[in-house]
Amino acid sequence: MYLTPFHCLTPLPLTGCLNCVKKTPLIHCLTNQVVQNFTANVLLAIGASPAMVVAKNRKRLNLAPLPAACWLNVGTLNDIQIESMTLAVSAANVAGVPWVLDPVAVGGLAYRTDFCRDLLNLKPAAIRGNASEIMALAGFSSSGAWRRQCR
């Protein structure tokens, strides 16, 4: 007998998935312009509600209800995004909202690498990166050589 992935779906896990979709969690996304539309569409497809809000002060960042999570992608980083990301992470930490760091191309530019290392001090719930990005955050080059002294 040939089993398809649908044979693995039992009512209990399926109910859990449906309940998550019904909640339509608000996800505050600060992504680069290259993937912003794709990110929003993926979140919509899984039942989330994306909010792509870039704000330089708390009054403009007034997201009500509170987001269920915050996603930071530093692919096209600029000064306004740095301010907005720092503000969003601070607000997320105060509210107990998990946030994810996506350190796109970290290690290539000191500006981006330094900012992402500063964000690490604010304790992301998860880091989404490839091997070279994770190594760069840890202070290694992709060849494995140690780049900086530990602080």
Task: Tell me if 151 is assigned to some domain.
Answer: no
Whether residue 108 lies inside any domain: the answer is: yes
**39 found inside a domain:** yes
In this model, does residue 4 exceed pLDDT 50? no
pTM recorded for the entire structure: 0.77
Count how many residues are written for the chain.
151
26-30 β-sheet, strand order: 49-51, 26-30, 69-73, 99-102, 126-127
Task: Give the pair of three-digit tokens for residue 33.
Answer: 């312009």
133: confidence class by pLDDT, cuts 50, 70, 90: very high
Instruction: Tell me if residue 23 falls in helix, strand or coil.
Output: helix
Token digits of residue 91: 């607000």
Convert the pLDDT of each residue in 64-95 to its tens digit.
Answer: 567 899 999 999 999 999 999 998 999 899 98
Please state, for a pLDDT cut of 70, what percent of the chain lies above it: 72
Amino acid at site 11: P
Task: Specify the number of domains making up the chain.
Answer: 1
Does the pLDDT at position 1 exceed 50?
no
Question: Does residue 11 belong to any structural domain of this protein?
Answer: no
Coil, strand or helix at 126: strand
- Reported as a pLDDT band with limits 50, 70 and 90, residue 7 is very low
- For residue 82, give its domain range: 26-137
Residue-wise pLDDT for 15-52, tens only, equals 665 566 567 899 999 998 899 999 999 999 989 999 88
In a domain, 40, yes or no: yes
Question: Which tokens hold the place of 82?
Answer: 């740095």
Alpha carbon of 119 to those of 2, 34, 68, 116, 142: distances in Å?
Answer: 48, 22, 19, 5, 21
In a domain, 113, yes or no: yes
Q: What is the pLDDT of residue 118?
A: 96
Q: What is the CATH number of the domain that holds 81?
A: 3.40.1190.20
- Is residue 146 a part of any domain in this protein? no
Residue 71 to residue 85: CA distance in whole angstroms: 9
Cα–Cα distance, 52 to 40 (Å, whole number)? 8
Residue 58 lies inside a defined structural domain of this protein: yes
